[in-house]
Chain A
Amino acid sequence: DQQVKQNSPSLSVQEGRISILNCDYTNSMFDYFLWYKKYPAEGPTFLISISSIKDKNEDGRFTVFLNKSAKHLSLHIVPSQPGDSAVYFCAASEGGNEKLTFGTGTRLTIIP
């Protein structure tokens, strides 16, 4: 039973446009959410996070939105750049970070 779901395995976006990656979760006890980015042959790298007490967190071109009632979060990248092409993982934790539950990832391709 997957508690964190990324239903789109892949997404292609034109350079300069907005990329929106989605993530749904089922465990209402999750209170901290993270996005990781992974290039081939490298480990995931932390991108941005959000606590359940907020509904939005912004860092440069990256914004994460959290809708607790819908158990949904999304990552917006604007404007999208070719270097953003990677696999993006959504992760969630409950009351601490030692047990991160990950989604299966979405492969984002930015088209020049």
Chain B
Amino acid sequence: ETGVTQTPRHLVMGMTNKKSLKCEQHLGHNAMYWYKQSAKKPLELMFVYSLEERVENNSVPSRFSPECPNSSHLFLHLHTLQPEDSALYLCASSLKAAVVGDTQYFGPGTRLTVL
């Protein structure tokens, strides 16, 4: 498989559940990103990892916990979410972070519904 993949594609969870979203990139990139897209809102950057180190945390609540074990994998661990956290969660990667002209490549997203 090529590009950026995300699993699962759809997830329904209760507010007391713990789940994880997974992202994998096969592009040899060194930077990975989590974005959130709520209905009728622009994509919002959540986290940035560069060479497995978190370089950006965009004031995201602690119920979202990212993990980047290596440059190819990125996880978003979810616990005690709220219904307003229901959204499309997109993962992206780029060759390097903070380089002008370095394009971000997106995965297909995970559609999360919190009941």
Contacts and interface: CB of A to CB of B under 8 A. Distances in A.
B92 interface: yes
Contacts of A95: 98, 100
Interface string A66-101: 000000000000000000000001010101111111
Indicate the size class of the contact surface on chain A: 20 to 34
Interface string B44-66: 11001010000110100000000
A96 B100 contact: yes
Interface residues of B, number: 33
Nearest to A42: B108
Given A31-B100, A32-B101, A97-B97, A102 B42 contact: yes
Given A97-B99, A98-B48, 16 more contacts: A4-B42, A31-B100, A42-B108, A43-B6, A43-B90, A43-B91, A43-B109, A46-B103, A91-B43, A96-B98, A96-B100, A97-B94, A99-B58, A100-B104, A101-B45, A104-B40
